[in-house]
Structure 1
Amino acid sequence: MKKILFLGFLMTLVGILTACSETSEGAGEDYPNQSIELVAAGSPGGGLDTLARAIDQGLQDADLQNQPFVIENKGGGGGNPARAYIKEQDDDPYTLLTESNRVYVNNIVGNTELDIDDVTPLARMATEYLVWVVREDSEYTEATQIIEDLKEDPKAVQFGVGTVPSNDQMNIIRPVKASGIDASSVEIVAFDSGGDLMTQLLGGHIDVISTGISEAIEQREAGKVRILAVSSPEPLSGDFSDVPTWNSLGIDVEILHWRGLFGPPNMPQSAIDYWDEKMSELVETEEWQAILDKYKWFDAYADSETFKQALEEEKQTMSDLLSEIGLAEE
């Protein structure tokens, strides 16, 4: 009898210790109960680093942060090293990631086997929109003029982007294709960065650039460039209320140049639910709106399930377009 009671006691003790272990290491009822590693898939000062620090600061300022973030930068390699690291943290809710659409683009073009199944989408946090920009003295005053010239000769206009493949590139291919033009024949030149891209435009070395709206603001305010079209679903307000959307020009194209928050694969549902609640609260605060205004970002919040579905749809669209122009790996 004593042996039975002792064995029962041991089993109870093991159960308690196991529960405690799960609470401290996993996503127990008191999650999070320790600091969280937030990996930015980019170098300090870049967009993904800025997002990681903005989330941290926003949660602190809005008094929503239960545990501190420890931000780690893993830049380079097109984000592949950062995502490989996150995959290694399988089911660990104490390691998160800020990333962009490289979570599926890099797989499409064949430079990694990592795909959207190797991360857990938690929240699409913010977006930039993409624009067509020309010099102030350009012959083009409307995007439709460029489209008409391309219909006559797909090589009539030379475009510049920061990198390929990219959303900047999609902001050329998609409206061109939607206008009935062979997108594979259009000339698109990739430069090193947004800053170098603008230098090429201002120097007269390129006709039109496709870039994030934040990259064009300064030169537009200085009167050196014109913005001809923006990829937003709806017209923008304020300083950009005069910029037509593709939709308003009769071209069915919307592109979000988003950045988001991810977890490792097989993340516990309770942790996903926690971040759904926390991020949905954050994006409604004045503190987060101030952050959006500061960085010239736009609200594009999507919860975990909505974000996951959007990623799958985006991946299919991107795969089809990149296959069409010969950039997708067969």
Structure 2
Amino acid sequence: MNIKGLAQAFFLALLCGAAAGTQAAAFPDRNVLMVVAGNPGGGLDLTGRALEQTMLETRLLPTGFVLKHMGGAGGNLAKTYVHQRSGDAYTLYVESNRVYVNKLVGTTTLDHHDLTPIARLITEYLVWVVRADSPFKSAKDILDKLKGDPGSVVFGVGTVPSNDQMNVLRPALAYGINPKQIKIVPFKSGGDLMIQMLGGHVPVISTGLSEAIEQVKAGRARVLVVSSPKPLEGDLARVPTWRSMGIGVEILHWRGLFAPPGVPAGTVKYWDQTLSKTVQTASWKKALDRHGWFNAYAGSAQFRKDLDLEIKIYAEILTQLGMARGAAKK
């Protein structure tokens, strides 16, 4: 090739590189589809809408979101839909730890390894709650009784398998109690669960703090322990955590974002940079306060590591209980 040809080839390469750079810098240049693995009004929907509102107020996202609710099959419908959109940078998916739990119990073949983890956004914490007049004064009282007879205390939870359930089984296991012998009764929802406890049908419930706080403030219920990594502030500052009791358990009832498999690395980087700024804004902090949520932000790399750790813990306990049907990926 002569000098003129080399110069033309070089110039063409520069143009292509510039075009590619312009295209990458333009993301996103249209609305992003946000697939919510739940129905309108639920926790996943509220998380998605809070993010949408914050992005709108702060203008950190130059375009917008289009929400698509797919609440069927315990989140599996949404997960399958997103998985089939492989490589689509304009799709996000809002989900909880069902993203891997459902595979463990055999209702799907997909887990977080079949998607692209983007960010953990928020969490609620779980609590043990009793009636105000309960003879149990502490979570240790209950654990000591279970140590003598694992079936002596009945726990109410929202559903199984769930974080509500794990907030009973994990501390019990760490305390040396056989989790198979613990009696756990699932109810339809957090509200129904509280009614059952206040009516004296179950002596203790494991539920989200937001489901219990109003009854606690009204003086009809007491919180014995919270699953947070450190003590909470305000009215619940004196409530012990599992860790403060010497039990190495903390449970985040989180909600996060995923993308389809095979999205460009630049897309993941964009969301890492944008979301890390979003969670620092006053608008987002107001949303946390409004919904009783706690900041649990983790970027894509840390989120992926945490998911891999969580699935190992769940797989071990569900296997002991005979509930594990699907194998966790290594």
With normalisation by structure 1, the TM-score equals 0.92
Q: Among residues 245, 255, 261, which one is paired with 1:259 in the alignment?
A: 255
Residues 1:109 and 2:105 are matched in the alignment: yes
User: Which of 142, 147, 166 lines up with 2:138 in the alignment?
Assistant: 142
Aligned letter for 2:172?
V
1:289 aligned to which of 275, 285, 291: 285
Say whether the 8 Å CA contact 1:201–1:207 is kept in structure 2: yes
For residue 315 of structure 1, the aligned residue among 288, 292, 311 is 311
**1: CA distance, partners of 2:306 / 2:284:** 23
- Show CA shifts across 1:164-207 (max 9, x none): 00111000000000000101100001111111111110111111
- Find the aligned partners of 1:198 and 1:268 in 2 and give their Cα distance: 45
Distance in 2, matches of 1:248 and 1:114, equals 36
Shift of 1:285: 1.1
- Distance of 1:302 and 1:68 partners within structure 2: 22
1:116 Cα deviation from its structure 2 partner: 1.2
Quick one: which of 169, 179, 183 aligns to 2:179?
183
Task: Tell me the residue number matched to 1:157.
Answer: 153
What is the distance in 1 between the residues matched to 2:180 and 2:215? Answer: 30
Tell me the distance in 1 between the aligned counterparts of 2:224 and 2:261. 41
- Residue 325 of structure 2 aligns with which residue? 329
Partner-residue secondary structure (3-state), 1:169: helix
Q: CA deviation at 1:63?
A: 2.4
CA distance in 2, matches of 1:119, 1:197: 33
* TM-score in terms of structure 2 length: 0.92
* Cα deviation code 1:58-80 (max 9, x no counterpart): 11222212111011111121100
**In the alignment, which residue of structure 2 is the partner of 1:203?**
199
Shift of 1:29: 2.1
1:33 to 13, 29, 42: 29
Name the SS for the 2:25 alignment partner.
Answer: coil
Task: Say which is worse superposed, 123-132 or 54-63, in terms of deviation.
Answer: 54-63
Alignment match, 1:123: 119
Aligned partner (choices 55, 59, 71) of residue 67 of structure 2: 71
Q: Give the distance between the partners of 1:323 and 1:310, measured in 2 at CA.
A: 20
Secondary structure, counterpart of 2:94 in structure 1: strand
**Structure 2 Cα separation of the partners of residues 131 and 157 of structure 1:** 16
Which position in structure 2 is the counterpart of 1:51?
47
Give the conservation status (yes or no) of the 8 Å contact 1:104–1:315. Answer: yes
* Distance across 2 between alignment mates of 1:200 and 1:298: 27
Moved over 3 A (4+): none
Alpha-carbon distance in 2 for matches of 1:87, 1:74: 13
1:229 aligns with 2:236: no
Give the total of aligned pairs: 320
Letter in 1 for 2:183: E
Give the RMSD, CA atoms, in angstroms.
2.3
SS of structure 2 residue aligned to 1:129: strand
- Decide which moves more: 245-254 or 272-281: 245-254
Deviation string, structure 1 residues 28-84 (Cα, Å, up to 9, x no partner): 221000111001100000000011101111112222121110111111211000000
Asked if structure 2 preserves the Cα contact closer than 8 Å seen for 1:43 and 1:74, the reply is yes
Letter in 1 for 2:186: A
How many angstroms apart in 2 are the aligned matches of 1:178 and 1:58?
40
Asked if 1:91 corresponds to 2:98, the answer is: no
Q: CA deviation at 1:267?
A: 1.2
Q: For 1:239 and 1:63, how far apart are their aligned partners in 2?
A: 35
Match for 1:220 among 207, 216, 221? 216
Task: Measure, in 2, the Cα distance between the counterparts of 1:62 and 1:244.
Answer: 37
Q: CA–CA distance in 1 between the matches of 2:95 and 2:230? A: 25
Per-residue CA deviations over 1:195-230 (Å, capped at 9, x if unaligned) read 111111011111110000000011111111000000
Identity of aligned residues (%): 51
Query: C-alpha offsets along residues 75-96 of structure 1, whole Å, 9 cap, x if unaligned?
Result: 1211000000101110101010
